Structure 1
């Protein structure tokens, strides 16, 4: 990151901080889903970090996002990647909640409904349930403004 970028990051509002991250190149977003294989995600992320762009002065950022039951898998993938790259990455972690919107017309034919009134009440309560979300930024270089707002883990080797 150039000194111009550092000045922008240090003296900025939250919206400017968010926009400044968009300007850091290259970065990739990997959305983790429960049904996919860990090995595939690890291979993709390792190929990004081991690409020639990693050896330039650019900061390489890979963002992992998992929600609900995929949170454990997201953490596992990140830890495997950090171990395979000898602990040389900076990690920023954000946890939060998304509110689920129930998809209309999505019925599970295999589910047996014994009490229709009870099922309607469950459907209404499911409409506004918050879903846990984790977002992990793995970076080849430090990003100071993320450290201010997100959890930060230093590389084990610098």
Structure 2
């Protein structure tokens, strides 16, 4: 971050998940896990758990009131899912049952509070919704009842889509 950028002091819940989703790709490419890298990943999951109920500024670095953004919650879920898979599939050590419980808690929260059945869409947060293309803007204007600001693409939406696919797979969906 640059000096003066307000995001430098913001909490963004999705970051742990973003890192945890990237690291299994290294293992899949043949990079061997070492004691430092796995300890760091377990430390990230400890941090995620310690901040599990903390509201954040979201991937869009929202100013103002904090919220529990669906994207951030899905990425926390993805982080714990990666921890569970590392233990189950790669034989690494860790509190797998505990991580499963946290992962399930997040899945239930996302299903119950982050999905609008009427819209058949995941919500950005309690106020804002994705548009008809499934894109989420940086902000929502409640007075005008419309999405405003930029529409960050690629990385944020790809991560949300991948987390959603993984959630559906664990729930037995297609």
TM-score relative to the length of structure 2: 0.27
Greater RCO, 1 or 2 (C-alpha within 8 Å, sep 6+): 1
Name the one with the larger strand percent. 1
TM-score relative to the length of structure 1: 0.29
Structure of larger gyration radius: 1
Name the one with the larger helix percent. 2
